[in-house]
Amino acid sequence: MIQFFAPINDLGYGVFSHNLIRAFDEHVSKEVSLFPMPLKPDFSDATIERWIENGKKFRRDQPSLMIFQGPWLNRFTGSPMIGLPIFELDVVPEYDLCIFKTLDAMIQASHWGKAVLEQHGVKHVHVVPGGYDPAAYFQEMTLEQKWERIQKQGVSFVHVGKWEPRKSSEEILRCFARATADPKMRANLLFHVCNPFDPKWFEPIRGFLAQQGFAQSGMHFMRGETRILVPQERFRTDTRKLYHMAEFGIWASKAEGWNLPLLECLACGIPCLTTRNTAHQDYLSPGIYPDELLLSTNKTEPTREGGVWWPIHQEELTHKIQAILADPMKFLLLESHCLASVKDFTWKNSALKLQEALKRIGVS
């Protein structure tokens, strides 16, 4: 029995946990138990209830794996004790580090995360990547259908992620506004950045777009032929529908612990402008992922927590958006390269990688 201590919710780490445990249950072993963190799952079904029921058979001599942020890792037990902390920075707080070094083994979603832990003296770190569900995220439209939609409504972009500095949310909005300064430019941005931790997240967006001459009607902002849609509630169901509302994606993160939305969007065959730093460089494969879609992050910026992250060059993002608007078909033709870059990163692959890691740790 593998005893998982993990969150089940619709935030990044909760989605990661849910999908990894479900894939392990489906493809490796039904001997799975779940202790929801911090208290109970945000949603449930018969499978999750079975995992929780199995938790009543908890044994201290059985392997336990916790997926969460550092401070929670002192709240579980088992043998061996395995931690999979979620983090996005190149520094590890001293408190977290003390806990990490007491565990029998560590797992990280990326080789970047593994390197960060090892640089801080943490040993026995194994890589188990995140993934996507190919039954949920796949191509829905042909190139011809996308081109026909562009002819009708202009080029559409999508971005999904909390409104926060690490995601370069403000920079994406600024660059899109600059790239579409011509009032005759027919372009659209689905900007899904609801931040449940910041009740005032919508205000700076409203203020900035008003300064740029956008008229607001609810969640819609309009300037000439350019439209920006900013949903004020989180989209909790089929995120594939969000991605397929656009022909292109924009992700400009300064640092990521994995970045599931980017991976899912690429799996839908949607070329994405993106950085290739920290964790998500694992599936933006050099030689496969198109250089035309990559944003440079060759400088650093200090963070409040200490350490650094890697900001974009706003002029470059503006120019790349303009290049797509000027010749969208050139960039639509890159979809096969995007699909090839992520094809091996399914949740089934993640579960099998976890099985391999457990064997190396000594769990049969």
| Residue 304 belongs to domain with CATH number | 3.40.50.2000
Whether residue 151 lies inside any domain: the answer is yes
- Looking at the DSSP assignment, which residues form a beta bridge with residue 272? 249
Confidence (pLDDT) at 237: 60
Q: Looking at the structure, do residues 75 and 221 belong to the same domain, yes or no? A: no
Confidence (pLDDT) at 183: 86
Give 267-289 pLDDT, tens digit per residue.
Answer: 999 999 999 999 999 999 889 99
**pLDDT above 90 (res 159):** yes
Confidence (pLDDT) at 236: 56
**pLDDT above 70 (res 71):** no
Residue 88 · residue 166 · CB < 8 Å:
yes
Q: How confident is the model at residue 121 (pLDDT cuts 50, 70, 90)?
A: very high
Whether residue 301 lies inside any domain: the answer is yes
Confidence (pLDDT) at 300: 94
Question: How many C-beta neighbours within 10 Å does residue 238 have?
Answer: 10
Look over the chain and give the mean of its residue pLDDT values, rounded to a whole number: 94
Whether residue 138 lies inside any domain: the answer is no
Residue 298 · residue 149 · CB < 8 Å:
no
**pLDDT above 90 (res 38):** no
> For the ranges 112-121, 159-168, 236-245, which has the lowest average pLDDT?
236-245
Confidence (pLDDT) at 129: 97
Confidence (pLDDT) at 363: 92
Q: Looking at the structure, do residues 155 and 127 belong to the same domain, yes or no? A: no
Confidence (pLDDT) at 43: 83
Confidence (pLDDT) at 359: 97
**pLDDT above 70 (res 73):** no
- 201-224: average pLDDT: 97
Name the pairing type of β-strands 226-229 and 248-251.
unpaired
Three-state SS at 118: helix
Confidence (pLDDT) at 306: 87
- 116-139: average pLDDT: 96
For 16, the domain range is: 2-131+347-361
Q: Looking at the structure, do residues 116 and 185 belong to the same domain, yes or no? A: no
Give 76-94 pLDDT, tens digit per residue.
Answer: 888 999 999 989 999 998 8
Confidence (pLDDT) at 13: 87
Q: How confident is the model at residue 12 (pLDDT cuts 50, 70, 90)?
A: confident
DSSP string for residues in 182-212: STT--EEEEEE---TT-TTTHHHHHHHHHHT
Whether residue 137 lies inside any domain: the answer is no
Give 226-260 pLDDT, tens digit per residue.
Answer: 999 999 887 656 788 999 999 999 999 999 999 99
Whether residue 25 lies inside any domain: the answer is yes
Q: Report the Cα–Cα distance between both ends of the chain, in Å, rounded.
A: 10
Whether residue 81 lies inside any domain: the answer is yes
Q: How many domains does the chain have?
A: 2
Confidence (pLDDT) at 239: 87
Q: Looking at the structure, do residues 162 and 276 belong to the same domain, yes or no? A: yes
- Which whole-number Å values give the CA distances from 256 to 90, 168, 280, 293, 297, in the listed order? 10, 11, 7, 18, 13
Residues 154 and 349: their CA atoms lie apart, in Å, by 37
Entry field: residues in the chain: 364
